[in-house]
Amino acid sequence: MDKNKITFGFKNVHVAFITEGETGPSWDTPIRIPGAVRWAPTPEGESSTFYADDGSYFVATANNGYTGELEMALVPDEILARMLGWEIDDNGMVVEVANGNPEKFALLGEVNGDKRNRRFVYYDCQAQRPSKEKNTKGETIEPSTDVLSMTVSPLDIAGKVLVKGDIELNETNQTVFNSFFESVYTPTFGAGATGGEGGEV
């Protein structure tokens, strides 16, 4: 297959909430959230340079994951409540609970390529309260989006400290690629790629 020269677009956002077990993390079945607008991650981590022989002799870089913004048309109340530790009362009102227990989750999505699409997963995400403007209606309707600030942390998965993964369809991974949003895929090295039921490792 031809390789991509560019990627563009953003769609197919899913979240899969994490359960921490004695043998490591596992993820619930991914839940699709329609209305993807923007995902803007920024790498986190400091670098230090050791100089010798009148030049840069050794550079050490720390990978502390990412911070970023996820913009969606509207995050469903049930998902937002789990992300932020809020509650929904008997009459369906979403209640912001100051001392609630937020749930971490994996973030999955897809971008287009000029030759083939690319799917991605960030394994350990935590969201902060969304910012959302409320504006009067003018001559045209301008949607108000949900903007979630997020932190993506490295996560120990089967002995490797992982942050994210990207996959494009090729001649050997069609099964994994096609089922990517059915469960959280965790990588395999030196053997056939498998996803595992529910993403458990």
Could you report the per-residue pLDDT of 126-181, keeping only the tens digit for each?
Answer: 999 988 778 788 888 888 899 999 999 999 988 899 999 999 999 999 999 999 99
Tokens standing for residue 180: 């990517």
> Domains in the chain, ordered, with CATH?
7-17+29-189 (2.30.110)
Q: What pLDDT, on a 0 to 100 scale, did the predictor assign at position 4?
A: 86
As given in the structure block, the two tokens for residue 67 are 């911070």
Question: For 14-30, how does the pLDDT look when each residue is reduced to its tens digit (9 = 90+)?
Answer: 999 999 888 889 999 99
Task: Tell me the pLDDT of the chain averaged across its residues.
Answer: 90
Q: Residue 14's beta-bridge partner residues?
A: 32, 108
Structure tokens at 157: 């998965």
Q: Comparing C-alpha atoms, which of 17, 15, 12 is closest to residue 35? A: 12
pTM, entire model:
0.85
CA distances from 176 to 26, 39, 106, 158, 190 (A): 18, 23, 17, 19, 16
